[in-house]
C-alpha cells in the first residue's frame, strides 16, 4: 500500500471515529488488503450531482462520515448564500440499505448548523423530494439514493431551491465548500434536534393533487377505468405513491407484482434494480402475460425511472426502450393537448443531446419549440427556470427511462410517468389500438428512428484513466468513416465546438462544457460517446433512422436498422 493510503488508514484508526468503524478497518487490514486500499486510495468525490459509491468504511466509500462531511460543506455554503435568511431544506431517502440512517445523519448535521429540516417520515420517491422543496419553499434538498445501481451502492443527491439538482455556479461552489472539510472534527454532528420536522401524508396528498392536473383526457380514463395494469416497484419506493396515483387518475384494475412489492435494499429478486434491464422486468412480464394485461410498468428503487411492457403487432409481449417511451409520451402531450384545445402557442418541450432525434421531428411537425440540453434532468430544470414567463413547459425527458411532465417537479418522475402512460394506453384502447400500434403509426408519420446503447465498464484504480484515454484518442484521431459512411460532423461538448469535417467549418455549441463527443455520418447515423459521471463506465449511444412505408414493412425495416447498429459497433471495435 502507498504511504498516503497508510496515512489515511492510521487517521481513521486513531481519530474520533466510532469503534465499529475501526474494527471494520482492522478486519480489512488482516483479511483483504486490496479492498482496504480501494477504500482509502482516494476521497469519494463530491461531483456536480452529489455523492455515489459503494457503502463501507474509508474515504472512498459511502458512510456516516463521508455523508456528514458533504453535508457540513453544503450547510456552510447555504449559510454563506443566505446569511440573513431562515434557511430550510427537505430530505428524503429510498429503500436502499442504510438509506434511513444516512438521511437522518444528513438531517442532524443540517439541524446542528441552525438549518430547518423537513425530513420525510419514511421512504418516498425522489420526485416527491423535488416537489417538497418547491411546495415548502426550501432553499435546498437532499435525497439519499443510488437510483438504479446494484445493492452495494448508496448516494447523496443535492438539490437547489427550484427543486432541480445543483447547476452552475452552485454545483462547483458546493464542491469547493465540501473540499474544505478536511476532518470529521469539522462537522457539527449534534445539536439542533428542534430544527427537524417530519413530513409525510400531507405532502403525499399535495403531490397527488398536482398529479391529477396533468391528465389530458380524464373522461377517457372514466370509460377505460378497468384497463388491465400490472405494476412492479422492484422493491423500491414506488409502492408508496404509484398505486395511489393510478387510483387518483381513476384506474380500478391495478395488479401489483407481489414478489417485488416490499421495499428491500437487497433487491432479492433481481441482479440490478433497473427497469432498463429485461431480467429485472421478467417477473412483471410473466404476471402481465398470465393476466393478459394491457400494460406493464416498473419503477426503480427511488421511482424516478419507468420501464414499460406492451403487446406488439403480433400479440407478443415486448419491453419498450427509453427512447420509444419518451417518443410516445412527448407525442401524446403535444397531439392530445392540441386535439383537446388546451395547447398554447408558446408550448415548449425539452430533450437531451443523447436522446432520439425523433422527438425533435415530432415537435417540429407539431410546431412546438424543442430544446436539446446536456444529459441530466438538472439541465432540463435549469432551462425551465430560464424560460419561465416566456414559454410554457409541457414535458421533458431522456433516453434513460426518465420523463418529467409539467413544471411542478424539477426532476425525472416515474410516478407521474406511470399515470400518464396508463392514460395513453387507455386513450389508444378507446380507439381499438395498443401503444405499440401507436408507436408504428408515429414511425410512419415522423420517420423510423431506432436507438441502442452499450456501456463499457473499466473497474479498479486505473478504470477512470482508461476511459479518459479512450476519449482523448477519439478527440485526437476522430474516425473518418463509421460503418462505411463518412463522418461529416464532429460535436465536442467539452471544447464546445462543432465541426463540419468536409468543409472545415466550425461553430460554437451554446451549452455548458461536458465530456461528450458525437459523430454524425452522411447516412444520418449519430454516435455519442459519454463517460458516466457516477460510475467507471463509458457509454456509447447509437441512433439510426430510415423511412417506414406502412405497418407491413415494420419487421423488415426494424431488422435493417438493427443490422446497421451492429455494423456500427463492429466498425468502431466496441464488441
For 288-337, the pLDDT digits (tens) are 999 999 999 999 999 999 999 999 999 999 999 999 999 999 999 999 99
- pLDDT band at 462, cuts 50/70/90? confident
* Contact predicate 467/44, CB 8 Å: no
pLDDT tens per residue, range 211-246: 999 999 999 999 999 999 999 999 999 999 999 999
Q: Give yes or no: residues 177 and 234 share one domain.
A: no
Whether the per-residue pLDDT at 1 is higher than 70: the answer is: no
Exposure string (b/e) for 215-249, b if CB count within 10 Å is 16 or more? bbbeebbeebeebbbbbbbbbbbbbbbbbbbbebb
pLDDT of residue 56: 97
434 band by pLDDT with thresholds 50, 70 and 90? very high
Is residue 216, in this structure, part of any structural domain at all? no
Check if the beta carbon of residue 162 is closer than 8 Å to that of residue 134.
Answer: yes
Rounded average pLDDT over 253-280: 96
Q: CB–CB of 144/116 below 8 Å? A: no
Same domain, 326 and 316: yes
Tell whether 212 is covered by a domain. Answer: no
Phi/psi at 369 (5° precision): -65, 130
Cα angle 378-465-158, degrees, rounded to a multiple of 5: 25
For residue 148 the three cell numbers come to 438504479
pTM (2 decimals)? 0.95
> Helix, strand, or coil here: 308?
strand
Judged against a pLDDT cut of 80, whether residue 518 lies above it is answered with yes
Same domain as 289, residue 418? yes
Is the residue at 213 inside a domain? Answer: no
The answer to the question of residue 314 being in a domain is yes
- Angle in degrees, CA 242, 244, 247, rounded to 5: 110
For 40, 210, 346, 369, 381, the CA distances from 391, given in Å and listed in that order, are 48, 20, 5, 9, 13
Judged against a pLDDT cut of 70, whether residue 139 lies above it is answered with: yes
Instruction: From 537, 531, 402, select the one nearest 459 (Cα to Cα).
Output: 537
Residue numbers annotated as active site: 147
User: Both 325 and 423 in a single domain?
Assistant: yes
Within this chain, do residues 332 and 360 fall inside the same structural domain, yes or no? yes
- Predicted pLDDT of residue 215: 97
User: Looking at the domain assignment, is residue 197 inside a domain?
Assistant: yes
- pLDDT of residue 466 exceeding 90: no
135: left (phi over 0), alpha (psi -120 to 50) or beta: alpha
CA–CA–CA angle 187, 132, 204 (5° rounding):
125
Angle at 257 between CA 252 and CA 259, to 5 degrees: 150
Task: Please return the burial class of 546, using the count of CB atoms within 10 Å of its CB with bins 0-12, 13-18 and 19+.
Answer: middle
Domain presence at residue 217: no
Assess whether pLDDT exceeds 60 at residue 413: yes
| pLDDT value of position 575 | 76
Q: What is the mean pLDDT of residues 394-417?
A: 97
* Cβ neighbour number for residue 186 with a 10 Å cutoff: 13
Eight-class DSSP state of 55: B
Q: How far is Cα 106 from Cα 189, in angstroms, rounded to an integer?
A: 9
Q: Single out the residue in 416, 446, 476 at which a domain terminates.
A: 446
Q: Is the pLDDT of residue 539 over 80?
A: yes
Give mean pLDDT, residues 466-481.
91
- The answer on 164 and 137 residing in a single domain is yes
Mark whether 478 and 524 lie in a shared domain: yes
| pLDDT reading at 514 higher than 90 | yes
Residue 154 confidence (pLDDT):
97
Tell me which residue range forms the domain holding 12. 1-41
- pLDDT > 90: percent of the chain: 92
Q: Are residues 36 and 131 both part of a single domain?
A: no
Q: DSSP E strands: which ranges in 493-547?
A: 497-500, 506-508, 517-521, 526-531, 537-546
pLDDT digits (tens, 9 = 90+) for 165-220: 999 999 999 999 999 999 999 999 999 999 999 999 999 999 999 999 999 999 99
What does the alpha-carbon distance between residue 351 and residue 25 come to, in Å, rounded to a whole number? Answer: 45
Closest CA to 312 of 436, 158, 456: 436
- According to DSSP, residue 165 is labeled B
71 and 198 belong to one structural domain: yes
pLDDT of residue 449: 98
pLDDT for 532 equals 79
102: left (phi > 0), else alpha (psi -120 to 50), else beta?
alpha
pLDDT of 415 reads 98
Answer whether residue 220 is part of any domain: no
Written as one string, the DSSP assignment of 441-504 is HHHHHH-EEEEEEEEEE--STTHHHHHHHHHHHHHHS--SEETTEEEEEEEETTTTEEEETTT-
Does 436 share its domain with 456? no
Residue 79, helix vs strand vs coil: helix
* Structural domain ending residue among the three candidates 417, 446, 475: 446
CA distance 421 to 427: 10
Query: What region does 540 belong to: left with phi over 0, alpha with psi -120 to 50, or beta?
Result: beta
Across the chain, what does the average pLDDT equal? 95
What is the structure's pLDDT at 536? 76
pLDDT tens for each residue of 342-375: 999 999 999 999 999 999 999 999 999 999 999 9
pLDDT category, 340, cuts 50, 70, 90? very high
- Mean pLDDT for the stretch of residues 269-279: 95
pLDDT score recorded for residue 461: 65
Give me 557's grid cell. 425495416
Using the predicted structure, report yes or no on whether residue 339 has a pLDDT greater than 60: yes
pLDDT classification of 534: cutoffs 50, 70, 90: low
Q: What CATH code is carried by the domain that includes residue 470?
A: 3.30.310
Asked if residue 533 has pLDDT above 90, the reply is: no
* Chain Cα centroid distance, residue 26: 37
Contacts of 51 (CB under 8 A, 6+ apart): 44, 45, 62, 66, 67, 70, 155, 156
Cβ-count burial 36-73 (b if 16+ within 10 Å, e if not): bbbbbbeebebebbbbbbbbbbbbbbbbbbbbbbbbbb
Q: Both 59 and 181 in a single domain?
A: yes
Q: Mean pLDDT, to the nearest integer, of 442-471?
A: 89
Question: The C-alpha cell of 552 is what?
Answer: 407491413
Q: Could you tell me the CATH number of the domain that includes residue 82?
A: 3.40.120.10
Average pLDDT over residues 489-507: 94
Cα(301)–Cα(124) distance, rounded to whole angstroms?
10
Parallel, antiparallel, or unpaired for β 196-199 and 116-120?
Answer: parallel
Under the banding of pLDDT at 50, 70 and 90, the label for residue 535 is low
Q: Which three cell numbers stand for residue 573?
A: 471495435
Quick check: 502 and 495 in contact, CB under 8 A?
no
- Does 83 reside within a domain? yes
Tell whether 313 and 295 lie within a shared domain. yes
Domain count, the chain: 4
Is the confidence at residue 460, as pLDDT, over 90? no
What pLDDT band is residue 45 in, cutting at 50, 70 and 90?
confident
Q: What HEC string does 360-413 produce?
A: HHHHHHCCCEEEEECCCHHHHHHHHHHHCCCCEEEEEEECCCEEEECCCCCCCC
Amino acid at each position: 500500500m502507498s504511504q498516503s493510503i497508510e496515512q489515511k488508514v492510521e487517521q481513521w484508526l486513531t481519530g474520533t471515529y466510532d469503534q465499529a468503524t475501526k474494527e471494520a478497518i482492522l478486519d480489512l487490514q488482516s483479511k483483504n488488503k486490496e479492498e482496504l486500499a480501494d477504500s482509502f486510495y482516494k476521497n469519494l468525490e463530491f461531483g456536480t450531482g452529489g455523492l455515489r459509491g459503494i457503502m463501507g468504511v474509508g474515504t472512498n466509500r459511502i458512510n456516516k462520515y463521508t455523508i456528514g462531511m458533504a453535508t457540513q460543506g453544503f450547510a456552510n455554503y447555504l449559510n454563506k448564500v443566505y446569511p440573513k435568511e431562515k434557511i430550510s431544506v427537505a430530505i428524503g431517502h429510498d429503500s436502499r440499505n442504510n438509506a434511513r440512517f444516512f438521511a437522518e445523519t444528513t438531517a442532524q448535521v443540517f439541524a446542528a448548523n441552525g438549518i430547518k429540516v423537513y425530513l420525510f417520515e419514511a421512504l418516498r420517491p425522489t420526485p416527491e423530494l423535488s416537489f417538497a422543496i418547491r411546495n415548502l419553499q426550501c432553499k435546498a434538498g437532499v435525497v439519499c439514493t443510488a437510483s438504479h445501481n446494484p445493492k452495494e451502492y448508496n448516494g447523496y443527491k443535492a438539490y437547489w431551491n427550484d427543486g432541480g439538482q445543483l447547476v452552475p455556479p452552485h454545483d462547483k461552489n458546493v464542491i469547493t465548500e465540501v473540499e474544505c472539510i478536511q476532518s470529521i472534527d469539522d462537522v457539527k454532528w449534534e445539536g439542533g434536534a428542534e430544527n427537524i420536522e417530519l413530513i409525510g401524508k400531507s405532502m403525499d396528498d399535495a403531490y397527488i393533487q398536482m398529479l391529477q392536473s396533468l391528465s389530458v383526457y380524464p373522461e377517457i380514463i372514466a370509460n377505460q377505468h378497468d384497463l388491465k395494469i400490472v405494476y412492479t416497484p422492484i422493491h423500491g419506493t414506488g409502492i408508496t405513491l404509484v398505486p395511489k396515483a393510478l387510483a387518483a387518475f381513476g384506474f380500478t384494475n391495478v395488479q401489483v407484482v407481489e414478489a417485488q412489492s416490499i421495499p428491500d435494499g437487497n433487491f432479492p429478486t433481481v441482479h440490478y434494480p433497473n427497469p432498463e434491464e429485461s431480467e429485472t422486468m421478467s417477473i412483471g412480464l410473466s404476471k402481465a402475460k398470465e393476466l393478459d394485461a394491457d400494460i406493464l410498468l416498473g419503477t426503480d428503487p427511488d421511482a424516478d425511472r419507468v420501464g414499460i411492457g406492451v403487446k406488439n403487432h403480433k400479440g407478443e409481449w415486448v419491453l419498450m426502450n427509453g427512447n420509444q417511451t419518451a417518443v410516445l409520451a412527448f407525442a401524446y402531450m403535444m397531439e392530445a393537448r392540441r386535439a383537446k384545445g388546451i395547447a398554447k402557442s408558446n408550448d415548449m418541450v425539452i430533450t437531451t443531446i443523447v436522446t432520439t432525434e425523433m422527438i425533435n421531428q415530432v415537435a417540429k411537425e407539431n410546431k412546438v419549440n424543442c430544446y436539446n440540453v446536456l444529459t441530466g434532468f438538472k439541465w432540463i430544470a435549469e432551462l425551465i427556470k430560464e424560460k419561465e414567463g416566456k414559454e410554457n413547459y409541457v414535458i421533458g425527458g431522456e433516453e434513460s427511462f426518465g420523463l418529467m411532465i409539467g413544471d411542478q417537479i424539477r426532476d425525472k418522475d416515474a410516478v407521474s410517468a406511470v399515470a400518464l402512460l396508463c392514460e395513453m394506453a387507455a386513450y389508444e384502447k378507446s380507439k381499438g389500438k395498443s401503444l405499440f400500434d401507436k408507436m408504428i403509426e408515429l414511425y410512419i408519420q415522423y420517420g423510423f428512428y431506432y436507438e441502442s446503447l452499450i456501456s463499457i465498464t473499466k473497474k479498479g484504480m486505473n478504470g477512470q484513466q482508461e476511459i479518459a484515454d479512450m476519449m482523448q484518442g477519439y478527440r485526437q484521431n476522430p474516425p473518418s468513416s463509421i460503418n462505411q459512411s463518412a463522418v461529416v460532423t464532429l460535436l465536442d461538448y467539452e471544447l464546445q465546438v462543432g465541426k463540419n469535417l468536409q468543409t472545415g467549418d466550425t461553430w460554437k455549441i451554446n451549452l455548458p462544457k461536458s465530456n461528450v463527443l458525437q459523430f454524425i455520418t452522411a447516412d444520418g447515423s449519430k454516435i455519442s460517446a459519454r463517460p458516466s459521471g457516477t460510475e467507471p463506465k463509458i457509454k456509447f449511444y447509437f441512433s439510426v433512422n430510415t423511412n417506414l412505408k406502412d405497418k407491413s414493412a415494420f419487421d423488415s425495416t426494424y431488422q435493417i436498422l438493427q443490422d446497421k447498429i451492429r455494423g456500427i459497433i463492429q466498425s468502431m471495435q466496441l464488441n
